[in-house]
Structure 1
Amino acid sequence: MRKTGNSKRRQGSLTRESIVDAAIKLLDEVGEGRLTFQVLSKRLSTGPGAIYWHVENKDDLIAAACDTVVAAAMSSSIVGETPQETIKRIALRVFDMIDVHPWVGSVLSRSAGQMPMVRLLEPIGQQVQALGVQQEKLWVTASALISYVFGVAGQNAANARLAKENDLDRTDYLDKVSTAWSQLDPLEYPFSTGVAQQFRIHDDREDFLGGIDLILGGVSQQR
């Protein structure tokens, strides 16, 4: 099936790289669930059979797309004055990457042990080592950082996509939630009413880095 005359002709005009690049654009536009070889073949002005010359299936394609995005994000060196600063810079790069490519977060969560995840785990792990964390605590420390980074970045990206799909304005949304919280009974909901105004003006990136600081502060105390 893969070696018909038409397939050979189409295969010659395509490369795996061009297919992956087109898939990334589609994933950014429509998300993982709506990406099909039929849609991709129309974008590439070819037939699905030509794509199968270069990728085995949808999982192979999405994994390649994820690895391409991660490799690009981590291609340039990330150096801070201290290991803590370097970890924060790596984390911000991941945060921004998932903000632009929301589908990457869910793909990474399924790719433990594969190259996309290793590309992110290794630089963070090296900085954890540089912090002087004991050998027996290296994995749990790096894992906690990775889980936090992916979790918060993924949720932020999901919120942004939901707001876009529903034409929601972030400021209006924060105002409504803050107002609703401030009107609760402060005796029954002391925390929610107490942080209502903070929620109204909070910055997602600053909150994200604040969480990193809390984790790193705990690491320093253990050391």
Structure 2
Amino acid sequence: MKERNDTRSRRQRSLTREQIIDASIRLLDEGGEGGLTFQALSKLLATGPGAIYWHVADKSDLVTAACDEIIARTMEAKPAGASPQETIRALALDLFDAIDAHPWVGAALMSAPGQLPMVRIFERIGQQVRSLGVSAEHEWSAVSALLNYILGVAGQNAANAKLAAVQGLERASFLGEVSAAWSALDPESYPFTRSVAAQLPAHDDRKDYLDGIDLLLRGIVASS
């Protein structure tokens, strides 16, 4: 019995946490959180659930770990000689692209407040905001505004792309229909919406996102 237990223990240790996380990311990318099950993970890794539980507590722990791996990879790039504004802008764009490529990451971040993947982002933004000379009194508000904007817009963009894929929507056609519907709204009740309706079909999500970052940064700098 002892020999059998020793063999099982060696097998569990031979499977690394990194291998489990990489396989989990693959399953999450393919099927979202619903696609990540210990049965599917065991099959992909050609092992038993016990070997996986040796390294992770449960599915929630696994999703957070997978999310942290994506965020850590995204944090690796640091533009050399960039100003704090340029660094924040580059970071914001990298996060936008990472969440677009891995749509489940946005929800995973929202489900793990105060945990490492969120703290990584918070710390990186916080360092740059401090480098801008923002007063201690306004640091929290400035960092929170940037963090909430980045995760909110990037997460919504990923959700929109997922919905479009599920429903088989073609972007140009869908936005054209929405634009036509907005243009037909009552002019007295919806003057602004009607005025921007024509811009909707050709708007660039990434450019709009970065424009928002620039607006926030100008406000932060002006108030510092």
Structure 2 unaligned segments of length 5 or more: list them: none
- Find the aligned partners of 2:193 and 2:97 in 1 and give their Cα distance: 28
1:50-69 matches, within 5 Å, as 50-69=51-70
Counterpart in 1 of 2:190? 189
- Find the aligned partners of 1:83 and 1:12 in 2 and give their Cα distance: 43
- Find the aligned partners of 1:116 and 1:24 in 2 and give their Cα distance: 14
Gap change, CA 1:137 and 1:34, over 3 Å in 2: same
1:27-66 matches, within 5 Å, as 27-66=28-67
- Find the aligned partners of 1:186 and 1:62 in 2 and give their Cα distance: 47
Q: How much has 1:110 moved relative to structure 2?
A: 2.7
Structure 1 unaligned segments of length 5 or more: list them: none
Counterpart in 1 of 2:155? 154
Q: Which amino acid aligns with 2:125?
A: I
Cα displacement string for residues 133-176 of structure 1 (whole angstroms, at most 9, x for unaligned residues): 11111011001100000000000001111111121111111111
- Find the aligned partners of 1:166 and 1:79 in 2 and give their Cα distance: 42
- Find the aligned partners of 2:221 and 2:55 in 1 and give their Cα distance: 48
TM value normalised by structure 1: 0.92
The percentage of aligned residue pairs carrying the same residue is 57
| Higher relative contact order, structure no. (Cα contacts within 8 Å, ≥ 6 residues apart) | 2
Q: How much has 1:10 moved relative to structure 2?
A: 4.2
- Find the aligned partners of 2:222 and 2:210 in 1 and give their Cα distance: 18
Cα displacement string for residues 83-103 of structure 1 (whole angstroms, at most 9, x for unaligned residues): 212111110011011011111
TM value normalised by structure 2: 0.92
Q: How much has 1:41 moved relative to structure 2?
A: 1.0
Q: How much has 1:12 moved relative to structure 2?
A: 5.1
Q: How much has 1:113 moved relative to structure 2?
A: 2.5
What is the root-mean-square deviation in Å for CA atoms of aligned residues?
1.8
- Find the aligned partners of 2:78 and 2:216 in 1 and give their Cα distance: 23
The number of equivalent residue pairs is 221
Native 8 Å contact 1:179 1:196 kept in 2: yes
Native 8 Å contact 2:78 2:87 kept in 1: no
- Find the aligned partners of 1:50 and 1:87 in 2 and give their Cα distance: 40
